[in-house]
Structure 1
Amino acid sequence: MRACTVPGCNAEHLARNYCYVHYWRWYRYGTPTPAVLPSRDVDEIAVERAVAGDPPEHLTFAERELVVRALHARKMPDPWIAEHLDIGPYGVRSIRQRLGLPPVTRGRPIAA
């Protein structure tokens, strides 16, 4: 077993001599150890606006996850959520899978 080359990390090597976490950070930020990671702070008002159909110009990852979770609970399929948030359906699918939510294949959205 080859280990990750980031100092202090003993996880198994995945690619480019990095483990899964450090490879993902390298892929996303250009470095396996970014000085600042994205904020997990949540603006509840922005989330409520986005769920209501008036998304602000920018949502953080944490806010976007909350919106996808709320819209999924209303039985919205991925393409509708994508249109609602003005992002791609593959982005919605990725978020949904990361949250462990099953796909919505049928049904009508539940009103708020």
Structure 2
Amino acid sequence: MSRQPYACGLDAAVDVMGGKWKARILWRLSEGTRRFGELRRDIPGISEKMLIQQLREMEAHGLVRREIHRQVPPKVEYSLTGFGASLNAALEPLGEWGHAHMERIAAAQESLEQERARPRGARP
């Protein structure tokens, strides 16, 4: 079954960037080549399994290059491709917007979480 074309560019970008971890991985790799363990330490909260999955997806999309050095123990390094660097550059304004509105976004998120925790039918 062939996949339907994207309705717009944003659909395509979100397809490549889906999830909360890929932008963080891109950001870390924009600083230079990293080994798996370095990425794991640099991205708090990500599990080893999730990092492996995200890196594989990003490699399949051509965002990340995986280089295996044949030595003992094996050394694997990850870096951004030109395609990945271009996506990272496109995300910079979004990161700046988020930084500028961080307090407002956090307050709204806290309000939503309080609302979800409230029993159904209860009023504030």
**TM class, shorter-length:** 0.3 to 0.5
TM-score (norm 2): 0.31
TM-score normalized by structure 1?
A: 0.34
Higher strand share: 2
More relative contact order, 1 or 2 (CA 8 Å, 6+ apart): 2
Higher helix share: 2
